[in-house]
Protein backbone atom coordinates (compact mmCIF):
# COMPACT_ATOMS: atom_id res chain seq x y z
CA UNK A 1 0.00 0.00 0.00
CA UNK A 2 1.25 3.44 -0.88
CA UNK A 3 0.25 6.61 1.00
CA UNK A 4 -1.08 8.50 -2.01
CA UNK A 5 -3.38 7.37 -4.82
CA UNK A 6 -4.89 9.02 -7.86
CA UNK A 7 -8.27 7.43 -7.10
CA UNK A 8 -9.63 5.72 -3.98
CA UNK A 9 -12.90 3.83 -4.52
CA UNK A 10 -15.03 3.01 -1.48
CA UNK A 11 -17.00 -0.20 -2.07
CA UNK A 12 -16.27 -3.20 -4.31
CA UNK A 13 -19.75 -3.86 -5.73
CA UNK A 14 -20.33 -3.68 -9.51
CA UNK A 15 -20.07 0.14 -9.48
CA UNK A 16 -16.82 0.28 -7.53
CA UNK A 17 -15.06 -2.55 -9.36
CA UNK A 18 -16.04 -1.22 -12.80
CA UNK A 19 -14.80 2.26 -11.81
CA UNK A 20 -11.53 0.86 -10.48
CA UNK A 21 -11.08 -1.29 -13.56
CA UNK A 22 -11.63 1.55 -16.05
CA UNK A 23 -9.69 4.16 -14.08
CA UNK A 24 -6.76 1.71 -13.97
CA UNK A 25 -7.04 1.03 -17.69
CA UNK A 26 -6.82 4.81 -18.18
CA UNK A 27 -3.51 4.86 -16.31
CA UNK A 28 -4.65 6.00 -12.84
CA UNK A 29 -3.18 4.57 -9.62
CA UNK A 30 -6.23 3.12 -7.90
CA UNK A 31 -7.07 1.67 -4.48
CA UNK A 32 -10.39 -0.02 -3.63
CA UNK A 33 -11.56 -0.27 -0.01
CA UNK A 34 -14.17 -2.96 0.73
CA UNK A 35 -15.51 -3.33 4.24
CA UNK A 36 -16.55 -6.99 3.97
CA UNK A 37 -14.26 -9.98 4.26
CA UNK A 38 -15.34 -11.45 0.90
CA UNK A 39 -16.08 -9.48 -2.24
CA UNK A 40 -19.58 -10.40 -3.41
CA UNK A 41 -20.81 -11.60 -0.02
CA UNK A 42 -23.36 -11.36 1.46
CA UNK A 43 -25.44 -11.56 -1.73
CA UNK A 44 -28.34 -9.14 -1.40
CA UNK A 45 -29.73 -9.52 -4.87
CA UNK A 46 -32.11 -11.58 -7.03
CA UNK A 47 -29.21 -11.79 -9.51
CA UNK A 48 -31.23 -11.11 -12.69
CA UNK A 49 -29.69 -9.09 -15.54
CA UNK A 50 -30.87 -8.26 -19.04
CA UNK A 51 -28.60 -9.77 -21.70
CA UNK A 52 -28.34 -6.65 -23.86
CA UNK A 53 -27.29 -4.35 -21.02
CA UNK A 54 -24.77 -6.80 -19.64
CA UNK A 55 -23.23 -7.64 -22.99
CA UNK A 56 -22.77 -3.98 -23.85
CA UNK A 57 -20.27 -3.90 -20.97
CA UNK A 58 -18.76 -7.32 -20.62
CA UNK A 59 -18.84 -10.67 -22.36
CA UNK A 60 -21.15 -13.15 -20.61
CA UNK A 61 -19.02 -15.83 -18.97
CA UNK A 62 -20.33 -19.28 -18.00
CA UNK A 63 -18.24 -19.12 -14.81
CA UNK A 64 -20.69 -16.67 -13.23
CA UNK A 65 -23.93 -17.43 -15.06
CA UNK A 66 -26.26 -19.65 -13.06
CA UNK A 67 -29.06 -19.77 -15.63
CA UNK A 68 -30.10 -18.37 -19.02
CA UNK A 69 -33.52 -16.74 -19.22
CA UNK A 70 -35.58 -17.07 -22.40
CA UNK A 71 -38.94 -15.78 -21.28
CA UNK A 72 -40.75 -13.81 -18.63
CA UNK A 73 -44.25 -14.25 -17.20
CA UNK A 74 -46.13 -11.21 -15.95
CA UNK A 75 -48.77 -12.60 -13.58
CA UNK A 76 -51.88 -10.65 -12.64
CA UNK A 77 -53.60 -10.69 -9.23
CA UNK A 78 -56.19 -13.15 -10.57
CA UNK A 79 -53.41 -15.47 -11.71
CA UNK A 80 -53.44 -14.88 -15.50
CA UNK A 81 -50.00 -15.24 -17.07
CA UNK A 82 -48.79 -12.98 -19.86
CA UNK A 83 -45.83 -14.83 -21.33
CA UNK A 84 -43.22 -12.87 -23.28
CA UNK A 85 -40.61 -14.97 -25.03
CA UNK A 86 -37.15 -13.86 -26.11
CA UNK A 87 -34.33 -16.32 -26.21
CA UNK A 88 -31.91 -13.57 -25.22
CA UNK A 89 -33.83 -12.01 -22.32
CA UNK A 90 -31.07 -12.37 -19.81
CA UNK A 91 -29.39 -14.33 -17.10
CA UNK A 92 -29.59 -15.20 -13.47
CA UNK A 93 -26.08 -14.65 -12.19
CA UNK A 94 -24.06 -16.12 -9.43
CA UNK A 95 -23.47 -12.69 -7.87
CA UNK A 96 -20.68 -13.76 -5.59
CA UNK A 97 -18.62 -15.05 -8.52
CA UNK A 98 -19.70 -12.14 -10.72
CA UNK A 99 -18.61 -9.47 -8.22
CA UNK A 100 -15.35 -11.37 -7.73
CA UNK A 101 -14.79 -11.46 -11.47
CA UNK A 102 -15.21 -7.68 -11.81
CA UNK A 103 -12.83 -7.10 -8.90
CA UNK A 104 -10.34 -9.46 -10.53
CA UNK A 105 -10.58 -7.40 -13.75
CA UNK A 106 -9.79 -4.25 -11.74
CA UNK A 107 -6.88 -5.97 -10.05
CA UNK A 108 -5.44 -7.28 -13.33
CA UNK A 109 -5.64 -3.75 -14.76
CA UNK A 110 -3.49 -2.56 -11.84
CA UNK A 111 -5.89 -1.54 -9.06
CA UNK A 112 -5.04 -2.51 -5.47
CA UNK A 113 -7.93 -3.95 -3.49
CA UNK A 114 -8.19 -4.17 0.29
CA UNK A 115 -10.94 -6.22 1.91
CA UNK A 116 -11.91 -5.76 5.56
CA UNK A 117 -11.14 -2.08 4.99
CA UNK A 118 -13.95 -0.01 6.48
CA UNK A 119 -14.07 3.61 5.32
CA UNK A 120 -14.94 5.77 8.33
CA UNK A 121 -14.59 9.34 7.15
CA UNK A 122 -13.27 11.57 4.39
CA UNK A 123 -10.34 13.95 4.54
CA UNK A 124 -10.57 17.50 3.21
CA UNK A 125 -8.02 20.12 2.16
CA UNK A 126 -7.94 23.72 3.39
CA UNK A 127 -10.54 24.74 0.75
CA UNK A 128 -12.93 22.05 1.97
CA UNK A 129 -12.43 19.73 -1.02
CA UNK A 130 -12.29 15.96 -0.50
CA UNK A 131 -8.71 14.68 -0.70
CA UNK A 132 -8.54 11.41 1.17
CA UNK A 133 -10.11 8.67 3.27
CA UNK A 134 -9.76 7.42 6.84
CA UNK A 135 -10.44 3.71 7.19
CA UNK A 136 -9.98 0.95 9.71
CA UNK A 137 -8.48 -2.45 9.01
CA UNK A 138 -7.57 -5.20 11.47
CA UNK A 139 -7.89 -2.83 14.42
CA UNK A 140 -5.71 -0.09 12.85
CA UNK A 141 -6.94 3.33 11.72
CA UNK A 142 -5.26 4.54 8.55
CA UNK A 143 -5.39 7.73 6.46
CA UNK A 144 -4.66 7.89 2.75
CA UNK A 145 -4.69 10.81 0.35
CA UNK A 146 -6.15 10.72 -3.17
CA UNK A 147 -6.80 13.16 -6.00
CA UNK A 148 -10.29 11.69 -6.42
CA UNK A 149 -12.44 9.70 -3.97
CA UNK A 150 -15.40 7.69 -5.27
CA UNK A 151 -18.39 6.73 -3.13
CA UNK A 152 -19.56 3.33 -4.43
CA UNK A 153 -20.85 2.17 -1.07
CA UNK A 154 -24.33 1.04 -2.10
CA UNK A 155 -27.86 1.91 -1.10
CA UNK A 156 -27.01 2.64 2.53
CA UNK A 157 -24.29 5.02 1.39
CA UNK A 158 -22.84 7.37 3.95
CA UNK A 159 -19.89 8.49 1.86
CA UNK A 160 -21.98 10.92 -0.21
CA UNK A 161 -23.24 12.59 2.96
CA UNK A 162 -19.70 12.79 4.34
CA UNK A 163 -18.80 14.69 1.18
CA UNK A 164 -21.63 17.14 1.86
CA UNK A 165 -24.08 15.83 -0.77
CA UNK A 166 -27.76 15.43 0.13
CA UNK A 167 -28.66 11.80 -0.62
CA UNK A 168 -31.77 11.23 1.52
CA UNK A 169 -34.53 9.32 -0.27
CA UNK A 170 -38.25 9.66 0.28
CA UNK A 171 -39.77 6.51 1.82
CA UNK A 172 -41.74 5.84 -1.35
CA UNK A 173 -38.52 5.91 -3.36
CA UNK A 174 -36.98 3.01 -1.46
CA UNK A 175 -38.11 -0.47 -2.36
CA UNK A 176 -37.91 -2.60 0.80
CA UNK A 177 -37.01 -6.12 -0.25
CA UNK A 178 -36.87 -9.56 1.25
CA UNK A 179 -35.85 -12.69 -0.57
CA UNK A 180 -35.54 -16.42 0.07
CA UNK A 181 -33.22 -18.56 -2.00
CA UNK A 182 -35.24 -21.76 -2.06
CA UNK A 183 -34.75 -25.41 -3.00
CA UNK A 184 -37.42 -27.65 -4.51
CA UNK A 185 -39.16 -24.81 -6.36
CA UNK A 186 -41.33 -26.08 -9.18
CA UNK A 187 -41.12 -23.47 -12.00
CA UNK A 188 -40.21 -23.34 -15.69
CA UNK A 189 -36.41 -23.22 -15.49
CA UNK A 190 -35.95 -20.80 -18.41
CA UNK A 191 -38.59 -18.25 -17.30
CA UNK A 192 -38.55 -15.49 -14.72
CA UNK A 193 -41.93 -14.87 -13.07
CA UNK A 194 -43.17 -11.45 -11.94
CA UNK A 195 -46.35 -11.25 -9.84
CA UNK A 196 -48.07 -7.86 -9.70
CA UNK A 197 -50.68 -7.19 -7.05
CA UNK A 198 -51.35 -4.16 -4.93
CA UNK A 199 -52.71 -6.47 -2.23
CA UNK A 200 -49.73 -8.83 -2.19
CA UNK A 201 -46.84 -6.49 -2.97
CA UNK A 202 -48.01 -2.86 -2.72
CA UNK A 203 -45.87 -0.46 -4.74
CA UNK A 204 -43.68 -3.28 -6.01
CA UNK A 205 -43.76 -6.85 -7.25
CA UNK A 206 -42.90 -10.43 -6.40
CA UNK A 207 -40.19 -12.23 -8.37
CA UNK A 208 -39.24 -15.86 -8.90
CA UNK A 209 -35.85 -16.13 -10.64
CA UNK A 210 -34.80 -19.75 -11.28
CA UNK A 211 -31.13 -20.62 -10.84
CA UNK A 212 -31.40 -24.23 -12.09
CA UNK A 213 -31.84 -27.58 -10.33
CA UNK A 214 -35.04 -26.44 -8.60
CA UNK A 215 -33.23 -23.57 -6.85
CA UNK A 216 -34.78 -20.11 -7.21
CA UNK A 217 -34.57 -16.63 -5.75
CA UNK A 218 -38.10 -15.91 -4.54
CA UNK A 219 -38.52 -12.40 -3.25
CA UNK A 220 -40.50 -9.22 -3.18
CA UNK A 221 -40.03 -5.52 -2.93
CA UNK A 222 -42.66 -3.18 -1.59
CA UNK A 223 -42.63 0.57 -1.47
CA UNK A 224 -41.16 1.89 1.79
CA UNK A 225 -44.43 3.77 2.23
CA UNK A 226 -46.27 0.48 2.81
CA UNK A 227 -43.50 -1.35 4.66
CA UNK A 228 -44.37 0.65 7.76
CA UNK A 229 -47.80 -1.07 7.95
CA UNK A 230 -46.83 -4.69 7.24
CA UNK A 231 -43.36 -6.14 6.96
CA UNK A 232 -42.31 -7.42 3.51
CA UNK A 233 -41.42 -10.72 5.19
CA UNK A 234 -45.10 -11.32 6.07
CA UNK A 235 -46.09 -10.73 2.43
CA UNK A 236 -43.37 -13.11 1.23
CA UNK A 237 -44.26 -15.85 3.71
CA UNK A 238 -47.90 -15.70 2.57
CA UNK A 239 -46.83 -15.95 -1.07
CA UNK A 240 -44.48 -18.86 -0.51
CA UNK A 241 -47.04 -20.75 1.57
CA UNK A 242 -49.53 -20.43 -1.28
CA UNK A 243 -47.20 -21.11 -4.23
CA UNK A 244 -44.30 -23.25 -3.00
CA UNK A 245 -45.45 -25.04 0.16
CA UNK A 246 -42.99 -27.88 -0.42
CA UNK A 247 -39.92 -25.71 -1.00
CA UNK A 248 -37.27 -25.05 1.66
CA UNK A 249 -35.56 -21.78 2.45
CA UNK A 250 -31.77 -21.98 2.03
CA UNK A 251 -30.96 -18.30 2.53
CA UNK A 252 -32.88 -15.21 3.59
CA UNK A 253 -31.78 -11.77 2.56
CA UNK A 254 -33.16 -8.30 3.13
CA UNK A 255 -32.18 -4.99 1.58
CA UNK A 256 -33.31 -1.80 -0.05
CA UNK A 257 -33.23 -0.59 -3.64
CA UNK A 258 -33.35 3.11 -4.56
CA UNK A 259 -36.17 3.56 -7.08
CA UNK A 260 -35.74 7.28 -7.68
CA UNK A 261 -34.27 9.41 -10.40
CA UNK A 262 -30.50 9.92 -10.12
CA UNK A 263 -29.41 11.97 -7.10
CA UNK A 264 -29.37 15.70 -7.94
CA UNK A 265 -25.65 16.03 -7.24
CA UNK A 266 -23.17 13.26 -8.05
CA UNK A 267 -19.85 15.10 -8.30
CA UNK A 268 -17.92 17.64 -6.25
CA UNK A 269 -14.31 18.80 -6.46
CA UNK A 270 -12.27 15.59 -6.13
CA UNK A 271 -15.34 13.45 -5.48
CA UNK A 272 -17.71 11.19 -7.47
CA UNK A 273 -20.75 9.17 -6.40
CA UNK A 274 -21.69 6.01 -8.33
CA UNK A 275 -24.17 3.13 -8.41
CA UNK A 276 -26.86 2.69 -5.75
CA UNK A 277 -25.08 5.36 -3.69
CA UNK A 278 -26.03 7.83 -6.46
CA UNK A 279 -29.55 6.33 -6.91
CA UNK A 280 -28.75 4.98 -10.36
CA UNK A 281 -30.85 1.78 -10.29
CA UNK A 282 -33.69 1.53 -12.81
CA UNK A 283 -36.63 3.17 -10.97
CA UNK A 284 -39.29 0.88 -12.38
CA UNK A 285 -37.65 -2.53 -12.19
CA UNK A 286 -35.21 -1.86 -9.34
CA UNK A 287 -32.50 -3.51 -11.45
CA UNK A 288 -29.27 -1.88 -10.39
CA UNK A 289 -26.44 -4.16 -11.51
CA UNK A 290 -26.13 -2.96 -15.11
CA UNK A 291 -26.73 0.75 -14.30
CA UNK A 292 -24.08 0.54 -11.54
CA UNK A 293 -21.66 -0.97 -14.06
CA UNK A 294 -22.44 1.72 -16.66
CA UNK A 295 -21.90 4.49 -14.10
CA UNK A 296 -18.74 2.82 -12.80
CA UNK A 297 -17.25 2.55 -16.27
CA UNK A 298 -18.04 6.18 -17.14
CA UNK A 299 -16.82 7.49 -13.78
CA UNK A 300 -13.61 5.45 -14.03
CA UNK A 301 -12.83 6.74 -17.52
CA UNK A 302 -13.51 10.37 -16.60
CA UNK A 303 -11.48 10.05 -13.37
CA UNK A 304 -8.46 8.75 -15.31
CA UNK A 305 -8.75 11.67 -17.74
CA UNK A 306 -9.08 14.15 -14.89
CA UNK A 307 -5.94 12.80 -13.23
CA UNK A 308 -4.05 12.94 -16.51
CA UNK A 309 -5.05 16.53 -17.22
CA UNK A 310 -4.43 17.56 -13.61
CA UNK A 311 -7.97 18.90 -13.25
CA UNK A 312 -10.12 17.09 -10.67
CA UNK A 313 -12.57 19.96 -10.24
CA UNK A 314 -16.33 19.37 -10.20
CA UNK A 315 -16.48 21.25 -13.51
CA UNK A 316 -14.28 18.58 -15.12
CA UNK A 317 -15.86 15.61 -13.33
CA UNK A 318 -19.29 16.74 -14.58
CA UNK A 319 -18.32 15.08 -17.83
CA UNK A 320 -19.22 11.81 -16.04
CA UNK A 321 -22.59 13.29 -15.00
CA UNK A 322 -23.37 14.40 -18.56
CA UNK A 323 -22.42 11.02 -20.00
CA UNK A 324 -24.50 9.24 -17.36
CA UNK A 325 -27.61 11.26 -18.22
CA UNK A 326 -27.09 10.65 -21.92
CA UNK A 327 -26.66 6.95 -21.38
CA UNK A 328 -29.23 6.11 -18.65
CA UNK A 329 -30.10 9.03 -16.40
CA UNK A 330 -32.55 10.73 -18.77
CA UNK A 331 -34.36 7.44 -19.37
CA UNK A 332 -34.59 6.92 -15.60
CA UNK A 333 -36.41 10.25 -15.24
CA UNK A 334 -39.12 8.90 -17.54
CA UNK A 335 -39.24 5.41 -16.06
CA UNK A 336 -39.65 7.04 -12.65
CA UNK A 337 -42.83 8.75 -13.91
CA UNK A 338 -44.04 5.45 -15.38
CA UNK A 339 -43.36 3.69 -12.08
CA UNK A 340 -45.46 6.24 -10.21
CA UNK A 341 -48.41 5.49 -12.52
CA UNK A 342 -48.01 1.71 -12.76
CA UNK A 343 -47.73 1.17 -9.03
CA UNK A 344 -50.92 3.16 -8.46
CA UNK A 345 -52.94 0.63 -10.48
CA UNK A 346 -55.47 -1.29 -8.43
CA UNK A 347 -55.70 -5.07 -8.61
CA UNK A 348 -58.81 -4.61 -10.71
CA UNK A 349 -56.86 -2.42 -13.19
CA UNK A 350 -54.08 -5.03 -13.31
CA UNK A 351 -56.55 -7.85 -13.96
CA UNK A 352 -58.16 -5.86 -16.79
CA UNK A 353 -54.73 -5.12 -18.28
CA UNK A 354 -53.82 -8.83 -18.24
CA UNK A 355 -57.17 -9.78 -19.80
CA UNK A 356 -56.82 -7.27 -22.60
CA UNK A 357 -53.22 -8.32 -23.35
CA UNK A 358 -54.30 -11.95 -23.46
CA UNK A 359 -57.01 -11.04 -25.97
CA UNK A 360 -54.23 -9.98 -28.39
CA UNK A 361 -52.70 -12.55 -30.74
CA UNK A 362 -49.55 -14.00 -29.17
CA UNK A 363 -47.17 -12.23 -31.57
CA UNK A 364 -48.55 -8.83 -30.50
CA UNK A 365 -47.98 -9.36 -26.78
CA UNK A 366 -45.01 -7.14 -26.08
CA UNK A 367 -43.83 -4.93 -23.24
CA UNK A 368 -44.99 -1.89 -25.24
CA UNK A 369 -48.46 -3.45 -25.56
CA UNK A 370 -48.54 -4.13 -21.81
CA UNK A 371 -47.76 -0.48 -21.09
CA UNK A 372 -50.27 0.79 -23.65
CA UNK A 373 -53.01 -1.29 -22.04
CA UNK A 374 -51.98 -0.46 -18.48
CA UNK A 375 -51.80 3.27 -19.15
CA UNK A 376 -54.65 3.55 -21.62
CA UNK A 377 -56.27 6.40 -19.69
CA UNK A 378 -52.98 8.30 -19.30
CA UNK A 379 -52.07 9.30 -22.89
CA UNK A 380 -49.11 11.49 -21.91
CA UNK A 381 -47.49 8.56 -20.15
CA UNK A 382 -48.08 6.32 -23.16
CA UNK A 383 -46.07 8.85 -25.15
CA UNK A 384 -43.37 8.75 -22.48
CA UNK A 385 -43.36 4.97 -22.63
CA UNK A 386 -43.07 4.96 -26.40
CA UNK A 387 -40.27 7.53 -26.30
CA UNK A 388 -38.34 5.41 -23.87
CA UNK A 389 -39.01 2.12 -25.66
CA UNK A 390 -37.79 3.63 -28.89
CA UNK A 391 -34.52 4.52 -27.17
CA UNK A 392 -33.92 1.05 -25.81
CA UNK A 393 -36.70 -1.44 -25.39
CA UNK A 394 -34.59 -4.01 -23.63
CA UNK A 395 -33.47 -1.67 -20.89
CA UNK A 396 -36.61 0.19 -19.98
CA UNK A 397 -39.01 -2.28 -18.67
CA UNK A 398 -36.90 -5.27 -19.18
CA UNK A 399 -37.52 -6.29 -15.58
CA UNK A 400 -34.17 -8.02 -15.66
CA UNK A 401 -32.18 -4.91 -16.31
Ligand X SMILES: Cc1cc2nc3c(=O)[nH]c(=O)nc-3n(C[C@H](O)[C@H](O)[C@H](O)COP(=O)(O)OP(=O)(O)OC[C@H]3O[C@@H](n4cnc5c(N)ncnc54)[C@H](O)[C@@H]3O)c2cc1C
Give the one residue of 5, 6, 7, 13 binding ligand X; rule: CB under 6 A.
13
Q: How far apart are CA 241 and CA 235, in angstroms?
A: 10
Which pairing describes strands 4-10 and 140-151: parallel, antiparallel, or unpaired? Answer: parallel
Least distance (Å) between residue 297 CB and ligand X? 12
Q: How far apart are CA 391 and CA 396, in angstroms?
A: 9
Q: How far apart are CA 393 and CA 395, in angstroms?
A: 6
Least distance (Å) between residue 292 CB and ligand X? 4
Q: Torsions phi, psi of 371, nearest 5? A: -65, -40
Which pairing describes strands 130-137 and 118-124: parallel, antiparallel, or unpaired? Answer: antiparallel
How distant, in Å, are the alpha carbons of 70, 108, 112 from that of 101? Answer: 24, 10, 15
Kindly identify the residues of this chain, within the stretch 228-287, that bind ligand X according to CB under 6 A: 253, 255, 257, 275-277, 281, 286-287
> What are the start-end ranges of the E strands in 152-294?
174-183, 191-195, 205-212, 215-223, 248-258, 267-268, 271-273
Give the one residue of 23, 25, 26, 47 binding ligand X; rule: CB under 6 A.
47
**Long-range contact set of residues 165-168: C-beta below 8 Å, sequence gap at least 24:** 165/263, 165/265, 165/266, 165/268, 165/271, 165/273, 166/263, 166/264, 166/265, 167/263, 167/273, 167/277, 167/278, 167/279
Give the one residue of 5, 11, 51, 131 binding ligand X; rule: CB under 6 A.
11
Least distance (Å) between residue 155 CB and ligand X? 6
Report whether 390 contacts 277 (CB < 8 A).
Answer: no
Residue 126, phi-psi category: left (phi > 0), alpha (psi -120 to 50), beta (remainder): alpha
Which span sits near ligand X by CB under 6 A: 46-54, 226-234, 328-336, 389-397? 46-54
Is 48 near ligand X (CB under 6 A)? Answer: yes
Least distance (Å) between residue 383 CB and ligand X? 27
Decide whether 154 or 329 has the Cβ nearer to ligand X: 154
Decide whether 181 or 323 has the Cβ nearer to ligand X: 181
Is 382 near ligand X (CB under 6 A)? Answer: no
Give the one residue of 177, 216, 294, 375 binding ligand X; rule: CB under 6 A.
177
Is 396 near ligand X (CB under 6 A)? Answer: no
Is 132 near ligand X (CB under 6 A)? Answer: no
Give the one residue of 289, 354, 368, 375 binding ligand X; rule: CB under 6 A.
289
Least distance (Å) between residue 323 CB and ligand X? 17
Decide whether 177 or 307 has the Cβ nearer to ligand X: 177
Least distance (Å) between residue 340 CB and ligand X? 20
The side-by-side arrangement of strands in the sheet containing 65-75 is 48-50, 81-93, 65-75, 191-195, 205-212, 215-223, 174-183, 248-258
Decide whether 80 or 137 has the Cβ nearer to ligand X: 137
Give the one residue of 5, 7, 8, 14 binding ligand X; rule: CB under 6 A.
14
Give the one residue of 9, 109, 119, 294 binding ligand X; rule: CB under 6 A.
119
**Residues with Cβ < 8 Å from 146, sequence gap 6 or more?**
4, 5, 6, 7, 8, 31, 131, 132, 133, 270
Decide whether 305 or 395 has the Cβ nearer to ligand X: 395
Query: What residue is closest to ligand X based on CB?
Result: 288
Interface map 290-329 toward ligand X (x if CB under 6 A): --x-------------------------------------
Closest CA to 119 of 158, 148, 177, 85: 158
Give the one residue of 8, 9, 10, 317 binding ligand X; rule: CB under 6 A.
10
By CB under 6 A, name the binding residues for ligand X: 10-16, 33-36, 44-49, 118-119, 152-154, 177, 179, 219, 253, 255, 257, 275-277, 281, 286-289, 292
Amino acid sequence: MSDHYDVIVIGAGPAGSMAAWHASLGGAKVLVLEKDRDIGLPVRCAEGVGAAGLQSLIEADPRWIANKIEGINLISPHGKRVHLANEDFGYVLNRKLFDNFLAEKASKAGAEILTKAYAEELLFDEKGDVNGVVFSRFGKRLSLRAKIVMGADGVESRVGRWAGIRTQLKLRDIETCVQFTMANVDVTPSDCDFYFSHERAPGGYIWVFPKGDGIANVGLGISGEYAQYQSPLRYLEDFVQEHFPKASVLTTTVGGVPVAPTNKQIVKNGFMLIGDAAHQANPISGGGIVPAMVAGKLAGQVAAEAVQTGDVSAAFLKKYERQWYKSEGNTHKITYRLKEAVYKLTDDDLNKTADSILSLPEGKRTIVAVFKKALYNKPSLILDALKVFKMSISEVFDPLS
